Amino acid sequence: MYLLQTCFNNHNTMTLSGKRRHAKSIPYYRLFSFSTTLDKFCIIIACLCATLSGAINPIVMILFGEVTGAIVNYAETFDESLPEQEKAKLKNDLWQETQRFAVISAVVGLVMVATTYVYTVLFGYSSTNQILKMRKALFEKILNQDIEWFDKNQSGEFTTTIT
């Protein structure tokens, strides 16, 4: 992060005496300066899909509650002494509620899979583009350092920082 901060500052981080200057902290919104309009659009769509995917979980709980209520209602009202017509109506009501639950659960599951896939892909795409630009800027900053900087820093430090 230290060298990444130098990408935002126009000064070297090593003084002639070899001491490090503390780079100013940067706010997180400045990290989006590496993003394009397409990246920002992808982030917005991904956030909307992630919100929708997260909102589906309570909907599933409500559906489970409704089907559980139908099963409890059937168990409470069903009695062998009821007339056949009443038994058939209770069984039919339970069957319809179970079918409704199955269809809605399938649709909700498909929506959840689709939104999860979309936000995973879009966040990955956007972050990959931004990381590439950050690494390029960091690499340019390091190559523009005075030769003294390379004498003071180990070669492994550059490799570790850029990855």
Give the long-range contacts of residues 70-78, CB within 8 A, separation 24 or more.
70/94, 70/97, 70/98
Q: What is the DSSP string of 42-93?
A: HHHHHHHHHHHHHHHHHHHHHHHHHHHHHHHHHHHH--TTS-HHHHHHHHHH
Q: What is the DSSP string of 22-51?
A: PPPP--GGGGGGG--HHHHHHHHHHHHHHH
Distance CA(88)–CA(40), nearest Å, equals 57
Give the model confidence (pLDDT) of 75-99 as tens digits: 888 788 788 888 888 889 889 999 9
Distance CA(64)–CA(101), nearest Å, equals 8
pTM above 0.85, yes or no: no
Residue position matching structure tokens 């230290």: 2
Nearest to 60 by CA among 102, 92, 95: 102
Which residues on adjacent β-strands are paired with residue 20?
14
Give the per-residue pLDDT at 15.
46
Per domain, the residue ranges of the chain are 36-146+157-162
Distance CA(6)–CA(3), nearest Å, equals 5
* Whether the predicted pLDDT of 11 surpasses 50: no
Which residues on adjacent β-strands are paired with residue 14?
20
pLDDT band for position 22 (50/70/90)? low
Helix (H) or strand (E) run with residue 80 in it = none
Give the model confidence (pLDDT) of 111-159 as tens digits: 999 999 999 999 999 999 999 998 898 888 877 877 777 677 777 776 7
